[in-house]
């Protein structure tokens, strides 16, 4: 039976007459009918968002933290409501695979990541607030280390335009609830499962349902969310997010262009870092902005590319229920083919070679278990200005670029996560001062290894709260 997924209007399920059918990436069979929300309905509901947010004021931050902890277990283990049906953890993993193409083994790994953030939410909040005594948020002001503090909430709701690529990104908005800000979520078109399950786990754990609105909708509905929530986060490609940059209200999560950067010494010793290089590119199916799309080295570029290609060419396309699946399927096979063609076209520009092509059997586009995949691709770029040197795709892809050490950090371009490996103090100091790198991993740390108490692309607490000057007599 096809699952019916409703809109959540301040926690209340609403079944729309306008439906989007989600189909199984393997055989096109219908999996779910998702209620679509009219933009005007979102705007109308948001007129009452203050009232909905106030439901969180009935709890202290400590109580909401406890709710998150309980929700973590429910998210991981419980059979939770899903529209007019229910969903077990196994159902969730299978449904995620069916519509988003995420292998079940990766779905489970992502579940664990989400569970980790929810159960360790106190640590996350501690990191986000740099150790603030959160009772300050309950009373509006308080004292810490002998100083009076007051924080002013900047919005009633956090809007979030969410992606399809990986459930792990949903960890970024979860802290809004213990920070007493309601959530207005627009799920990715192929992946309503994760935000819906997190919301249900939180509601079952005691969180007021009014704090959750979930609106599957189109681009104009997404615009409505971004316009009518005082603060929001927006996941999207470079072209989509462009018009929302610079408003201060919208935290942009665009392409990462994350990189591993090898100083001269690390480049000489690259074989020692090969696991890290390969893992940074391929972990979680290479789907995240925290995966490396570039390896920039001060030497041995060709050798690094050859070694990475040899290793990554071993990764095979496998069915989504295979226990060793490492690649995610493309819900639309045509997109996989177009991406592959685009890479081939760009390879016609002199100065770049698809090194993996010599190591893998057959085409970059592969099929297995009824799904279409793109096999890992390592491109060696002789020229740092080659278009593929600054490309990012939603599969394990990396450009290896060699540049003299003294030009390296000024050439890399925007880098969400830069894992900089070198024992050279001057190079390390330059990395610390580089404006191109958002999150700096200094030392042999894979790009995907992040800690949620060290936020990148903006700090949610600072996005939601403003520290005001305050005196009381």
Partner 1 sequence: MDSTIATPTDLSARVAEAKERLDAHVREIVAWHFDPATGCPFWLEKAESFDFDPRSDVKGYDDLKLFGHFEDEWLRGGPVRRWVPKGLAGQPLYVFETGGSTGIPKSRINIRDFEIDYETFGDSLSGASFPPGSDWLMLGPTGPRRLRLAIEHLAQHRDGISFHVDLDPRWVSKLVKKSRWDELDAYKEHVTDQALKILRAHEIRCLFTTPKLLEHLCGKLDIVQAGITGIFCGGTEMNAEFHRFAREELVPGADFIPVYGNTLMGLARGGPFDPAEKDYTITYYPPVPRALFEIVDPDDLDRIVPHGETGRVLLTTLTKEFFMPRFAERDEGERAAPIEQYPWDGVSNLRLFSRFQKSVAVGVY
| Residue 473 beta carbon to partner 1: minimum distance, rounded to whole angstroms | 41
| Residue 462 beta carbon to partner 1: minimum distance, rounded to whole angstroms | 22
| Residue 283 beta carbon to partner 1: minimum distance, rounded to whole angstroms | 33
Which of 3, 82, 198, 226 binds partner 1 (CB under 8 A)? It is 226
- CA proximity to 41, closest of 81, 10, 86: 10
- CA proximity to 185, closest of 141, 132, 149, 221: 221
Judged by CB, which is closer to partner 1: 77, or 242? 242
Residues 31-60 that bind partner 1 (CB under 8 A): 36, 38-41, 43-44, 47
Paired strand residues for 398: 378
Judged by CB, which is closer to partner 1: 45, or 354? 45
For residue 224, how many other CB atoms are within 10 A of its CB? 26
Q: In degrees rounded to 5, what are phi and psi of residue 397? A: -135, 135
Location of structure tokens 């800690």 = 451
Q: Kindly state the DSSP code that residue 78 receives in the 8-state scheme.
A: -
Contact between 4 and partner 1 by CB under 8 A: the answer reads no
Paired strand residues for 445: none
| Residue 212 beta carbon to partner 1: minimum distance, rounded to whole angstroms | 20
Euclidean distance between CA atoms 203 and 78, whole angstroms? 13
| Residue 140 beta carbon to partner 1: minimum distance, rounded to whole angstroms | 30
Judged by CB, which is closer to partner 1: 48, or 272? 48
Residues 96-115 that bind partner 1 (CB under 8 A): none
Which of 12, 18, 50, 275 binds partner 1 (CB under 8 A)? It is 18
| Residue 227 beta carbon to partner 1: minimum distance, rounded to whole angstroms | 5
- Contact pattern for partner 1 over residues 238 through 267, marking x by CB under 8 A: --x-xxx--x--------------------
Q: Are strands 80-82 and 30-35 parallel, antiparallel or unpaired?
A: unpaired
| Residue 225 beta carbon to partner 1: minimum distance, rounded to whole angstroms | 11
Contact between 21 and partner 1 by CB under 8 A: the answer reads no
| Residue 26 beta carbon to partner 1: minimum distance, rounded to whole angstroms | 24
Cα three-residue angle 196-200-202, rounded to 5 degrees: 120
CB 461 within 8 A of CB 129: yes
- Which of 236-244, 258-266, 306-314, 419-427 is the region at the interface with partner 1 (rule: CB under 8 A)? 236-244
CB 302 within 8 A of CB 310: no
Contact between 230 and partner 1 by CB under 8 A: the answer reads no
Number of residues this chain uses to bind partner 1 (CB under 8 A): 20
Which of 227, 368, 442, 445 binds partner 1 (CB under 8 A)? It is 227
Judged by CB, which is closer to partner 1: 275, or 332? 332
| Residue 132 beta carbon to partner 1: minimum distance, rounded to whole angstroms | 32
Contact between 223 and partner 1 by CB under 8 A: the answer reads yes
* Strand-by-strand arrangement of the 231-235 sheet: 12-14, 7-9, 212-214, 182-186, 157-161, 231-235, 250-253
- CA proximity to 64, closest of 164, 138, 161: 138
Cβ neighbours for 431, distance < 8 A, ≥ 6 positions apart: 261, 409, 418, 420, 422, 437, 440, 442
Q: In Å, what is the CA distance from 460 to each residue of 88, 259, 465, 469?
A: 30, 24, 8, 20
Judged by CB, which is closer to partner 1: 17, or 469? 17
| Residue 163 beta carbon to partner 1: minimum distance, rounded to whole angstroms | 18
Judged by CB, which is closer to partner 1: 135, or 220? 220
Location of structure tokens 């603060």 = 231
Cβ neighbours for 181, distance < 8 A, ≥ 6 positions apart: 53, 56, 153, 155, 156, 157, 158, 231, 464
Residues that bind partner 1 (CB under 8 A): 16-18, 36, 38-41, 43-44, 47, 220, 223, 226-227, 240, 242-244, 247
């Amino acid at each position: 039976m096809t699952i019916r997924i409703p809109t959540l209007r301040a926690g209340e399920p609403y079944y729309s007459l306008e439906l989007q059918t989600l189909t199984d990436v393997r055989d096109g069979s219908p999996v779910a009918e998702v209620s679509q929300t009219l933009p005007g309905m979102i705007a109308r509901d948001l007129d009452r968002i203050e009232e909905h947010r106030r439901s969180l004021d009935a709890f202290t931050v400590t109580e909401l933290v406890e709710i998150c902890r309980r929700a973590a277990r429910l998210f991981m283990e419980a059979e939770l409501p899903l529209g007019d049906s229910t969903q077990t953890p196994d159902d969730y993993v299978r449904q995620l695979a069916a519509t988003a193409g995420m292998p079940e083994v990766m779905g489970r790994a992502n579940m664990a990541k989400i569970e980790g953030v929810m159960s360790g939410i106190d640590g996350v909040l501690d990191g986000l607030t740099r150790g603030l005594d959160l009772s300050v948020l309950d009373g509006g002001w308080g004292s810490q280390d002998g100083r009076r503090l007051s924080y002013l909430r900047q919005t009633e709701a956090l809007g979030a335009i969410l992606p399809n690529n990986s459930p792990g990104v949903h960890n970024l908005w979860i802290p809004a609830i213990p920070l007493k800000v309601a959530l207005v979520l627009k799920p990715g078109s192929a992946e309503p499962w994760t935000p819906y399950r997190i919301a249900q786990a939180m509601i079952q754990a005691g969180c007021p349902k009014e704090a959750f609105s979930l609106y599957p909708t189109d681009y104009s509905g997404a615009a409505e969310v971004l316009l009518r929530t005082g603060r929001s986060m927006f996941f999207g490609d470079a072209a989509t997010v462009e018009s929302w940059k610079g408003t201060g209200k919208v935290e942009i999560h665009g392409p990462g262009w994350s990189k591993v950067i090898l100083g001269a010494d690390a480049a000489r010793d690259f074989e020692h870092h090969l696991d890290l290089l390969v893992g940074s590119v391929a972990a979680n199916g290479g789907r995240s902005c925290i995966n490396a799309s570039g390896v920039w080295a001060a030497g041995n570029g060709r050798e690094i590319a050859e070694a990475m290609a040899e290793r990554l060419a071993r990764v095979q396309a496998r069915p989504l229920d295979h226990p060793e699946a490492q690649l995610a399927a493309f819900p639309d096979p045509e997109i996989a083919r177009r991406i592959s063609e685009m890479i081939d076209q760009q390879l016609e520009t002199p100065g770049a070679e698809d090194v993996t092509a010599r190591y893998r059997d057959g085409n970059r586009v592969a099929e297995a278990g009824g799904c279409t995949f793109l096999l890992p691709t390592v491109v060696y770029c002789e020229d740092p200005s080659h278009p593929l040197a600054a490309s990012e795709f939603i599969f394990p892809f990396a450009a290896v670029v060699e540049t003299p050490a003294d030009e390296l950090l000024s050439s890399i371009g925007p880098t969400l996560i830069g894992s900089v490996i070198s024992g050279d103090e001057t190079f390390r100091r330059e990395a610390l001062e580089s404006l191109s790198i958002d999150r700096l991993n200094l030392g042999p740390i894979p790009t995907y290894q992040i800690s949620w108490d060290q936020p990148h692309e903006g700090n949610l607490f600072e996005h939601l709260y403003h520290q005001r000057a305050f005196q009381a007599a």
